[in-house]
Structure 1
Amino acid sequence: MLNRWVGIGRLTRDPELQYTPNGIAVTKFTLAVDRPFTSQNGEREADFIPVVVWRQAAEACANYLAKGRLVAVEGRIQVRNYENSEGKRIYITEVIADNVRFLEHGESRQSSNHSNNGSANESDPFSDDGKPIDISDDDLPF
């Protein structure tokens, strides 16, 4: 049996970090994932996927992600349910993340002095905005 989910999308709001009574970090956020087709009106539609991240990854997501950031999430789908105060059974479907990749460079939510790699003074060698890279054939290893 296989329960695997992979998606790329943007956060709909800032992540919410909480701690369990045992001190384990858990972060929740919703990921807006575009559908691969347009509606009858020609508009793009999206699905809004609830994501739960645990432990160190939860703290990293809470510190470095914010509303609108592009991320890739890999995990499994989990369905839980409970009975509300009116006696109605409520089902919640969410992705339990095993891996969250930050796909855009951004500042920390806690401090603008820290970047994702921990050093704001280093320049990003991959921030060429899609321009061709000037490399001579002698520099290539093949």
Structure 2
Amino acid sequence: MLNRVVLVGRLTKDPDLRYTASGVAVANFTVACNRPFSNQQGEREADFINCVVWRRNAENLANYMKKGSMIGVDGRVQTRRFEGQDGKTVFVTEILAENIQFLESKGTSQNRGGESSGFQPNRNQNQFQPNQNQNQNQNQSQNQNQEDPFSSSGDPIDISDDDLPF
């Protein structure tokens, strides 16, 4: 049987780091993952997925990532139940993160500031420049593309199997 989850998204709030009575670190966090399609109004929706991580990974997450940081989560789905304060049984489904990847540096998410346009998965930093600088940045980008034939133009590269080292 297989129970494996891989998520890539942004933290919706700062991770909540706590310690058990025996001193084991645990962090709860929520990852917002965009859906790959638009709704009938043409808007992209997101899923907000609750996650938990333990020990050193929990401490690292809380120390280096904050609201808006992009992370990758590798783990498994876990369900649990408990009795709530009102006496009713509460069921919880969450992702138990076994491995977390920081997909941007701490400073990158801070530099984004309060942008409301959302993240576009394009590593071209010129994308977030004000409009008056876009033409200048596009010209610089075109000059760089002429110098580097393998820059991220998004086009496939035609390579024969004989050229591969493996």
TM over 0.5: yes
Alignment of 1:90-129 (within 5 A): 90-107=90-107, 129=125
Q: Percent identity?
A: 50
Q: Which segments of 5 or more consecutive residues in structure 2 lack a partner in the other structure? A: 108-122, 127-140, 149-164
Query: Which AA in structure 2 matches 1:24?
Result: V
Between structures 1 and 2, the one with greater strand share: 1
Corresponding position: 1:38 with 2:45: no
Corresponding residue for 1:72?
72
For residues 124-135 of structure 1, what are the structure 2 equivalents within 5 Å? 129=125
Alpha-carbon distance in 2 for matches of 1:128, 1:51: 30
Aligned to 1:24: 24
Runs (4 or more) in structure 1 with deviation over 6 Å come to none
* Matched pairs, number: 119
Alignment deviations for residues 30-75 of structure 1 (CA, whole Å, 9 cap, x no partner): 0001111111111111110111111111100000000000000000
* Larger Rg, first or second structure (1 or 2): 2
Greater length-normalized contact order (CA 8 Å, ≥ 6 residues apart): 1
TM-score by length of 2: 0.65
- Local SS of the residue matching 1:56: helix
Aligned to 2:129: none
In the other structure, the counterpart of 1:122 is none
TM-score using structure 1 length = 0.75
Distance 2:12 2:19 in 1: 22
| Partners of 2:124 and 2:39 in 1: CA distance | 35
Would you tell me which structure has more helix in proportion to its own residues?
2
Q: How far has the Cα of 1:87 moved from its partner?
A: 2.5
Tell me the distance in 2 between the aligned counterparts of 1:80 and 1:103.
29
What is the SS of the residue equivalent to 2:106? Answer: coil
Counterpart of 2:10, as a letter, is R
Q: CA RMSD in A?
A: 2.3
Which residue does the alignment assign to 1:83? 83
* Aligned residue in 1 for 2:58: 58
